[in-house]
């Protein structure tokens, strides 16, 4: 191979890399836009010991039957991941511990939702010996 061929191949490879990076950036921006959407919160956030607790459901809005709930807990410095979160939808039910989704302050659990008393998600939070219960009324889609 001559030096000119090597130089042309080097230029072609660099153009290909720049093009791929450009398309990757475009794909990533489109992905972010698609995931963001115009999401409306299922409930209003509530405060507990300086932490903000938000609830999102899958599907959103929740429907009668089993729904997955994401409980998102954040503080002044970001996600709070050193707490225990449990949920239930009726005073007669046992508390069921939510599963922590990494150290990002997100906890997941499925619960049965129905019109009446089961249309309120009760979230129990425990941290450093303190305990609290927050009630999130749910607007069901029927």
Q: Which pLDDT does position 114 carry in this prediction?
A: 87
Q: Which pLDDT does position 26 carry in this prediction?
A: 44
For residue range 84-138, what is the model confidence (pLDDT) as tens digits?
999 999 999 999 999 999 889 999 999 999 887 788 999 999 999 999 999 999 9
- Considering the four listed CATH numbers 3.40.50.1820, 2.60.40.10, 3.40.50.300, 3.40.50.720, the one that applies to the domain covering 46-137 is 2.60.40.10
* Closest C-alpha among 91, 124, 128 to residue 109: 124
Asked if 79 and 106 count as a contact pair (C-beta separation under 8 A), the reply is yes
Q: What angle do CA 107, 109, 102 make, to 5 degrees?
A: 30
Mean pLDDT, residues 54-58: 96
**C-alpha dihedral, 114 to 109 to 95 to 130, nearest 10°:** -130
Q: Which residue has the higher pLDDT, 110 or 14?
A: 110
Q: Tell me the β-bridge partners of 99.
A: 108
Q: Which residue has the higher pLDDT, 22 or 141?
A: 141
Q: Which pLDDT does position 42 carry in this prediction?
A: 66
Tokens of 6: 């090597």
Kindly report the pTM of this predicted structure.
Answer: 0.70
Task: Domain ranges for the chain, please list them.
Answer: 1-38, 46-137
């Amino acid at each position: 191979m001559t030096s000119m061929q090597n130089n042309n191949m080097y230029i072609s490879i660099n153009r290909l890399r720049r093009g791929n990076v450009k398309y990757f950036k475009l794909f990533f921006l489109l992905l972010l836009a698609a995931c963001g959407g115009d999401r409306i919160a299922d409930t209003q956030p509530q405060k507990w010991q300086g932490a903000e607790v938000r609830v999102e459901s899958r599907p959103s809005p929740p429907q009668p039957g089993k729904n997955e709930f994401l409980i998102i807990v954040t503080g002044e410095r970001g996600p709070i991941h050193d707490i225990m979160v449990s949920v239930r939808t009726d005073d007669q039910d046992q508390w069921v511990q939510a599963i922590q989704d990494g150290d990002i302050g997100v906890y997941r659990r499925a619960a049965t939702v129905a019109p009446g008393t089961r249309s309120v998600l009760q979230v129990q939070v425990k941290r450093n010996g303190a305990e609290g219960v927050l009630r999130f009324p749910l607007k069901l889609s029927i």
